[in-house]
Amino acid sequence: MITNKELTVEKYIEEKRKQTKDPICAYIYDLKQLRDHATAIKESLPSFCRLYYAVKANSDQPLLNTLDPIVDGFEVASEGEINKVAAETEKPMIFGGPGKKDREIEAAIHSNVEYLNVESFHELNRINYIAKQKNITVPILIRVNLSVNISDSHLRMAGVPSQFGVDEREVPAFIEAALAAEFVSIEGFHFHAMSNNLDAEAHVRFAKVCIEKSKSWREQFGLSATIVDLGGGIGINYWNPGDSFEWGTLASGIAGLEKEAEDLTLIIEIGRYMTAECGSYITEVLDIKENHDQHFAVVRGGSHHLRLPAAWKMSHPFRIYPVEEWHYPFERPEVLQAAVTVAGELCTPNDVLVRKEYVEQLRAGDMIVFEYAGAYAWTISHHEFLSHPYPEIVYLKDTTQ
């Protein structure tokens, strides 16, 4: 843990270059930035909302510890995530995912899991069966796959055929089945429908639909359920970072729904939007070359560390940190005022982080700093492929607390 509050990405690079001749490769997380951002999100929400952190975005323990005093709870999707959260906090959890194992359901029952999302009739039967063996009533949220798509987000889990949730047309029958199940209690509905949505107004409309649907089913079946879990899905504009998600529009729009929500509690599970900006991935340029009239920069690292740009076939936001020293006695390769593709060190043409982006100058030995790398970056990457060494993980500790 780095505790010098004055340390920046640039200072880290300079200090590291004094310590080693090996190519530099690291993740740097700014915990103060994370704390300040999460606090601003929390303070902007109306009182009838609860803020949960979606652990899948980044489950690193220092990030969880930083968020623990701020958020109301954590959204988890595996027994492993349950254990990571439970090891450090007593905050409540919501457990979701379309493929829960029996042992995970049992782990949820015996931990601080507040609600289990239920995704199918079979899962409902399994949860009820396991709860019966333990003579305990399990609070559940019914995950709904809405019939209509709400946004044009990058990925969609509802409004389209998917493995997620209960088809909206089957929800009435599902509620009847859940009411007949002796060992579960319907506490509300879960609607996570999108990923990386960039349209704040669409997200407000989505929240309104979720409230309306929940109230309708509650009235139809005489339910006391008060939870409306919107899920997450709020995005980062990797393609144009200057045009960011309008969080203020979402916060004020949800506040405007308070009267309509009546006694309902809205839960928002923020993952990517919470942590992406606090992380940077730094890697050194090993080579510059030209192939079939296109320029390539090969870096120490790649998609085995930062998989997102390869998975989404996009150019990840980056900036160049120039290094003037050149210790070899021969020509330094470079590219000037041209488009360059930044590729990693793996033996596959899919190992690409930047696709034909213009640079003024890029040389072997320069550093590339990939911004917005605090979510769905290291944790979703195939670390063991080709057995390259891991990047260093550095946490800039918030010493102002």
92-270: what fold?
Answer: TIM Barrel (3.20.20)
Largest separation between any pair of C-alpha atoms in the chain: 80
Q: State the average pLDDT over residues 164-174.
A: 89
In this prediction, residues 11-40 reach a mean pLDDT of: 92
Contact 157, 54 (CB under 8 A): no
* Domain(s) of CATH 2.40.37.10: residues in the chain: 9-28+277-396
Beta strands in 278-366 (DSSP E): 279-291, 294-299, 318-321, 334-343, 352-363
Q: What is the C-alpha separation between 376 and 142, in angstroms, rounded? A: 26
Examine the pLDDT at 150 and tell me if it is beyond 50: yes
Q: How far apart are CA 64 and CA 83, in angstroms?
A: 12
Q: Give which of 285, 270, 273, 275 is closest to 318, Cα–Cα.
A: 285
The pLDDT of residue 334 is above 60: yes
CA dihedral 166, 167, 168, 172 (to 10 degrees): -60
> The tokens of 188 are what?
């509300």
Q: Give the domain 9-28+277-396 fold.
A: Lyase, Ornithine Decarboxylase; Chain A, domain 1 (2.40.37)
CA-to-CA separations, 284 to 7, 68, 298, in angstroms, rounded: 19, 34, 9
Report the alpha-carbon distance of residue 168 to residue 158 in Å, rounded. 9
Residues of the chain above pLDDT 70, percent: 94
Which amino acid makes up residue 133?
Answer: Q
Annotated catalytic residues are 347
3-class DSSP state of 228: strand
pLDDT (tens digit, 9 = 90+) per residue, 263-316? Answer: 999 999 999 999 999 999 999 999 999 999 999 999 999 999 999 999 999 999
What local confidence, expressed as pLDDT, does residue 103 receive?
95
Burial of 380 (C-beta count, 10 Å sphere; 0-12/13-18/19+): middle
Q: pTM here?
A: 0.92
Q: How far apart are CA 282 and CA 329, in angstroms?
A: 26
Mean pLDDT lowest for which of 43-52, 66-75, 391-400? 391-400
Report how far residue 117's alpha carbon sits from residue 54's, in angstroms, rounded to the nearest whole number. Answer: 14
Read off the pLDDT band of 391 (50, 70, 90). very high
pLDDT value of residue 3: 40
Give me Rg for the CA atoms of the chain.
23
What are the helix and strand counts (H, E) for the chain?
12, 19
- What stretch of H or E contains 42? helix 31-44
Q: What is the mean pLDDT of residues 317-323?
A: 95
Q: Are strands 25-30 and 279-291 parallel, antiparallel or unpaired?
A: antiparallel
Strands 352-363 and 334-343: antiparallel
* DSSP letter, residue 295: E
- Residue 355 — φ and ψ, nearest 5°? -115, 105
Q: What percentage of the chain exceeds 90 in pLDDT?
A: 81
The two tokens of residue 273 are 């939007």
CB contact at 8 A, 249 and 243: no
83-140 pLDDT, tens digit each: 999 998 999 999 998 889 999 999 999 998 999 999 999 999 999 999 999 999 999 9
Locate 392 and state its tokens. 């260093």
User: pLDDT category, 7, cuts 50, 70, 90?
Assistant: low
Quick one: pLDDT band at residue 238, thresholds 50, 70, 90? very high
Average pLDDT, stretch 387-399?
A: 86
Mean pLDDT of the chain: 91
Q: How far apart are CA 64 and CA 81, in angstroms?
A: 11
Question: Is 321's pLDDT higher than 80?
Answer: yes
Res 246: pLDDT: 95
User: How would residue 242 be classed by pLDDT, with cut points 50, 70 and 90?
Assistant: confident
Main-chain dihedrals φ then ψ at residue 262, nearest 5 degrees: 55, -115
What is the reported pLDDT for 2? 39
Tokens 């439970």, located at residue:
86
Strands (DSSP E) contained in 77-154 are: 93-95, 113-118, 138-145
Output the pLDDT for position 279. Answer: 96
d(CA 222, CA 118): 20
Higher pLDDT: 330 or 386? It is 330
Q: How far is Cα 202 from Cα 192, in angstroms, rounded to an integer? A: 14
User: Does residue 161 register a pLDDT over 70?
Assistant: no
Query: How many CB atoms are closer than 10 A to CB 244?
Result: 14
For residues 313-342, b (16+ Cβ closer than 10 Å) or e, as one string? ebbbbbebbebeeeeeeeeebbbeeeebbb
Tell which phi-psi region holds residue 144, choosing left (phi > 0), alpha (psi between -120 and 50) or beta.
beta
Amino acid at 250: L
User: How many Cβ atoms from other residues are within 10 Å of residue 379's Cβ?
Assistant: 14
